[in-house]
Amino acid sequence: MGLPQNTRSDLNEQVREVLTIEVIELKRGTAQMNRTSLVTLVLITISCFTGTPCMASVSKPSLELNCLDRPFLGVAVSTPERNAIPTVQLTLRDPLGRAAGAGIKHTRIPHSRYGNVVQIPNDPERSRMLAVEICDARQGVYTITIREGGNSRYRLEVIASGKDSLFEPLHRSSRDGRILINKFAFKIQSGAAKIIWLDKTEKPLDQREIDDW
């Protein structure tokens, strides 16, 4: 999908500014940057400004580790082996219509974060994910939007915690360019987190009706 015209213009201006700064630094002799590294910088800049997690950043530990006394909610995608990040973009909208994830700049969900994370810091090669995470999440109906790239299998997980942690995975097969929308209800009952997958009319949905594999 192409970027809106105003977004492309803003992005071009940001890239131009970065290139100008780097050329000046090269002339001053304070930076030693060849053409390859300059192109890399531009690609990183484009990635960050289009709302995609910056690939140059190191995966961070999950926000859940610092949200032990408040309701935590995370929506994550990973490869089946959880050792890499699938080629998708992820957006999450909360019960109040606020959002977090790819391309979100305004009306952001408070205490939320979007990016590459490792769920188990001591075992990063088996817990890599791209996630929207919320500390002190509001109960209610959430909407997930996934923009798929490539054609491969991936896992979509909702991770919630109250007294205990809860995982609700879906197994999807991506199709390049496809946009998927899923809904779920997040509840806390007697201190325990509960996740219910919903259909378009927000009626409970059997997970087996959504799984691709």
The reported pLDDT for the residue numbered 28 is: 41
Residue 198 and residue 176 share a domain: yes
Instruction: Look at 41 and 185; give whichever has higher pLDDT.
Output: 185
Is residue 213 domain-resident? Answer: no
| Max Cα distance, the chain (Å) | 65
Q: Is 34 in a helix, a strand, or coil?
A: coil
Tell me the pLDDT of the chain averaged across its residues. Answer: 79
Is residue 212 domain-resident? Answer: no
* The one-letter amino acid at 200: K
Centroid of chain to Cα 148: 12
Is residue 55 domain-resident? Answer: no
Is residue 151 domain-resident? Answer: yes
Give the pLDDT band (50/70/90) at residue 181.
Answer: very high
The reported pLDDT for the residue numbered 112 is: 97
Which DSSP symbol is given to 97?
S
Asked whether the predicted pLDDT for residue 170 surpasses 90, the reply is yes
Q: How many helices (H) and strands (E) does the chain have?
A: 2, 11
74-83 tens-digit pLDDT: 999 999 999 9
Residue 197 and residue 170 share a domain: yes
Question: How far is residue 94's CA from residue 75's CA, in Å, rounded to a whole number?
Answer: 12
Residue 74 and residue 168 share a domain: yes
Residue 122 and residue 79 share a domain: yes
Asked whether the predicted pLDDT for residue 10 surpasses 90, the reply is no
**How many Cα atoms within 13 Å fall on the side-chain side of residue 71?**
17
Which DSSP symbol is given to 210?
T
Residue 115 and residue 29 share a domain: no
Residue 40 and residue 112 share a domain: no
The reported pLDDT for the residue numbered 58 is: 65
113-154 tens-digit pLDDT: 999 999 888 998 989 999 999 999 999 999 999 999 999 999
Is residue 198 domain-resident? Answer: yes
Q: By percentage, how much of the chain surpasses pLDDT 90?
A: 57
Give the pLDDT band (50/70/90) at residue 209.
Answer: confident
Domain total of the chain: 2
Q: Are 113 and 97 within 8 A, CB to CB?
A: no
Question: How far is residue 36's CA from residue 79's CA, in Å, rounded to a whole number?
Answer: 30
Give the pLDDT band (50/70/90) at residue 166.
Answer: confident
Residue 150 and residue 186 share a domain: yes
Residue 78 and residue 167 share a domain: yes
Which DSSP symbol is given to 123?
-
Asked whether the predicted pLDDT for residue 29 surpasses 60, the reply is no
Residue 181 and residue 98 share a domain: yes
Q: Are 132 and 101 within 8 A, CB to CB?
A: yes
Asked whether the predicted pLDDT for residue 161 surpasses 80, the reply is yes
In terms of phi and psi (left: phi > 0; alpha: psi -120 to 50; beta: otherwise), the region of 182 is beta
Residue 77 and residue 182 share a domain: yes
Domain holding 13, by residue range, is 5-49
Question: How far is residue 39's CA from residue 46's CA, in Å, rounded to a whole number?
Answer: 11
Question: How far is residue 196's CA from residue 97's CA, in Å, rounded to a whole number?
Answer: 19
- Looking up residue 160, the CATH number of its domain turns out to be 2.60.60
Residue 152 and residue 114 share a domain: yes
The verdict on pTM exceeding 0.95 is no
Q: Where are the alpha helices (DSSP H) in the chain?
A: 5-28, 35-49
The reported pLDDT for the residue numbered 113 is: 95
Residue 67 and residue 44 share a domain: no
The reported pLDDT for the residue numbered 213 is: 86
- As given in the structure block, the two tokens for residue 117 are 């994370």
